[in-house]
Amino acid sequence: MGRIGRIKTAHGELLTPTLMPVIDPADIVLKPKEMRREFGTELVITNAYLTMLHFGKNPDLKIHQILDYDGPIMTDSGGYQILRYGNIDVPPEEIVRYQELISPDIATILDIPTGINASREYAAETVKITLERAKQAVEIRSNPEVMWCGPIQGGLFTDLVEYSAREMGKLDYQFHAIGSPVELLNEYRYAEVVDLVMAAKRNLPLDRPVHLFGAGHPMMLSLAVAMGCDLFDSAAYILFARDGRYMTAEGTLHLDELDFLPCECPVCASTTVKEIKREKEDEKVKLLARHNLHVTFGEIRRIRQAIADGRLWEYVQIKCRAHPSLLEAFQRFLEYGDFIERFDPVTKRTAFFYSGSESIKRPEVLRHRQRIKRYTPPQLETLIIFPGFGEKKIDVEGAHLLKIVPPFGVVPEELEEVYPLSQHEVPKELDAEMARYTAESLEAYLKTHGGRYQQVILFNDEKRWGEMLVKACHPVAEKLEVVQISEKI
């Protein structure tokens, strides 16, 4: 469900997916305009509540002046402060009016974050209050240059998340944000993040960009994009730097544990671990923060290219092997295969690459299985089953040829040129899961259509398949002839 989008704002266009570095208006370590020049930053995010506390309600002072930045800016409302401290001393309508006053490109209502430790009763209350505030904000709004974000709440109660998304999606908002993932992300509970995001995505309008609050570590961005998230915010680049933590695309290291800088960014290419450690604290923090942003924006660019190439799925499979919790999350994502398949392109400009057992649940494989259920074979008395790996050919006359193509399963000869049945790369050594899944497809086909044939001939590649294909042919055992083939055929 990953996508590349273009958003037009009052201060310029931007592409998604993208990262919004979090800017503390009272403590700017890296200036937004420097970020744009060095990292290609397209959008930054700051906190309207904190801005109001530090700068007051000056009607002549806009957020672009405060941050000294002429590019697109998004403002959060103070919801994170509510999650962390329990409350803030500003009414929600005042936060809306203040954002209208300082005129960011994208503003956010003051929602009530659910959090991950909430009871069901409290979670339902956060959804109710957030929706009430969202409706109120629609009536208050008056600045045509500001687009608005309606947050989704519900926490770990996915039915509440679904309800929140459906109801918020009915209101006049241009963006939506999925709330309450920060604690889950901090605890590496990525599988629960998948359930949270998918509950929201399945119920939100598809044409509205979705922001995943607090998701800014590069190791999980590709999975989040695959789920359909478009915007991410990160304070981690500076928070980690202040703690001496060094981001990589696969995880986090600590400066004290490093002997070398395993990165090609301008910071790491021009210095060493020892030199960074010798720097004064402020300069050390800046160097680490710059590195952290380089790594994160580099990951965003790789994700965009993977989408453009039609290879996001393979990229996510690679990235999710960086940590067991990410692999668990990816496996949870696969459980939503029927929904994901609806949005996956039917054809792509690149071949299908099998890259592990998770590939058997890819949209292309699921789509083929669905199509085969609707397939009607030709009226021929003989069925020839051939375990094809692309390079093997067999010519038959007066018989129906059915190829066995891992991981797709049964492929009738007349359909073998349909994408991706002849545009795929699969290891010649079958792993157990791929072999089992493929053999099950043959068994299902024969249960449905085996009765129409008078004779069934199986060319069995015993070296690869053993007796698996023979056993799968049990629905037609009384008319089955098995021929062992060799590598030379």
Residue with tokens 């199509």: 371
Cβ distance 293 to 35 under 8 Å? yes
Q: Which two tokens stand for residue 146?
A: 């500001």
Distance CA 372, CA 368 (A): 6
Cβ distance 140 to 172 under 8 Å? no
Q: Which two tokens stand for residue 222?
A: 């590709």
- Burial string for 158-180 (b: 16+ CB within 10 Å, else e) reads bebbbbbbebbbeeebebbbbbb
Catalytic residue of the set 76, 105, 111, 230:
76
Interhelix angle 190-201/324-334, nearest 10 degrees: 30
3-state SS assignment for residue 277: helix
> Please, what is the Cα angle at 10 between 8 and 11, to 5 degrees?
90
Q: Which two tokens stand for residue 178?
A: 């999925």
76 catalytic, yes or no? yes
Distance CA 196, CA 181 (A): 8
Cβ distance 487 to 462 under 8 Å? no
Phi then psi for residue 136, to 5 deg, are: -65, -40
Strands 210-212 and 175-178 turn out to be parallel
Q: Which two tokens stand for residue 211?
A: 């922001």
Q: How many CB atoms lie within 10 A of CB 113?
A: 23
- Strand spans (E) along 131-250: 147-152, 175-178, 210-212, 231-234, 245-248
Distance CA 184, CA 437 (A): 33
Residue with tokens 């020049």: 37
Distance CA 255, CA 429 (A): 42
Active site positions, annotated: 76
